[in-house]
């Protein structure tokens, strides 16, 4: 069943992102992304993001926010919120389309969890067992879990992976499957953002 599924995916997706080999999606001819600046939707919030990052944790954000026409998203109207946590150590950047009503307004999120976060490790193991393996960067394997195929079905899909001892997740509506993969690829190759503390001027 798994091989049949990959055959279907291969015809519709490999042309734009890569090719499949031995059940693993391998990205071919992808440019090396070395920019330290994430997508424009994040740039005005960089100080807020970096000042709230837990010590020792790094967040990765895509160089471009990719959304299909079906969602009809106006980036300039998106609301960004950060959710830091010290116990367990984690950090999430979420994008909303409105300021009230958390779930209906949530567009998507980007998360970083310490490798010592037990719940994140268990979640990653679930992705490894149930998700489709993809190559995001040299020696970096991600796992795509498609929400509509879960029981019960879920409207969001996600890619999860471990990189430099940090567990990353990108979570967006399932209809954005191809864009989720492109953004995960960008995140894995993008330079991470670390905590930045503004120095007080005496």
Residuewise pLDDT in 10s, the chain (202 residues): 444 444 333 333 333 344 333 333 433 334 343 445 789 999 999 999 999 999 999 999 999 999 887 677 888 889 999 999 998 999 999 999 988 765 568 999 999 999 999 999 999 999 999 999 999 999 999 999 999 998 899 999 999 999 999 999 999 999 999 999 999 999 999 999 999 865 444 4
DSSP per residue over 46-76, as a string? HHHHHHHSPTT--B---SS----TTT---GG
Strand partners, 162: 167
DSSP state of 23: T
Enumerate domains of the chain plus CATH numbers.
30-189 (3.40.1000)
pTM, full prediction: 0.80
Distances (CA, A) of 116 to 30, 145, 188: 31, 22, 20
């Amino acid at each position: 069943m798994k091989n049949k599924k990959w055959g279907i995916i291969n015809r519709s997706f490999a042309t734009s992102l890569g090719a499949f080999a031995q059940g693993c999606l391998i990205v071919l001819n992808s440019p090396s992304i070395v920019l330290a600046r994430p997508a424009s939707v994040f740039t005005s919030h960089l100080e807020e993001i970096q000042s709230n990052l837990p010590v020792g944790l790094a967040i990765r954000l895509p160089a471009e926010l990719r959304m299909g026409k079906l969602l009809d998203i106006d980036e300039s109207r998106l609301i960004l919120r950060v959710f830091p946590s010290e116990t367990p150590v984690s950090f999430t950047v979420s994008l909303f389309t409105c300021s009230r009503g958390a779930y209906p307004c949530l567009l998507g999120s980007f998360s970083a969890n310490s490798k010592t976060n037990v719940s994140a490790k268990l979640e990653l193991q679930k992705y490894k067992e149930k998700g489709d393996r993809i190559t995001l960067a040299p020696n970096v394997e991600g796992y795509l879990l498609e929400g509509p195929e879960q029981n019960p079905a879920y409207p969001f899909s996600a890619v999860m992976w471990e990189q430099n001892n940090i567990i990353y997740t990108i979570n967006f509506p399932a209809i954005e499957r191809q864009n989720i993969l492109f953004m995960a690829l960008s995140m894995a190759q993008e330079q991470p953002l670390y905590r930045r503390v503004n120095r007080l001027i005496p």
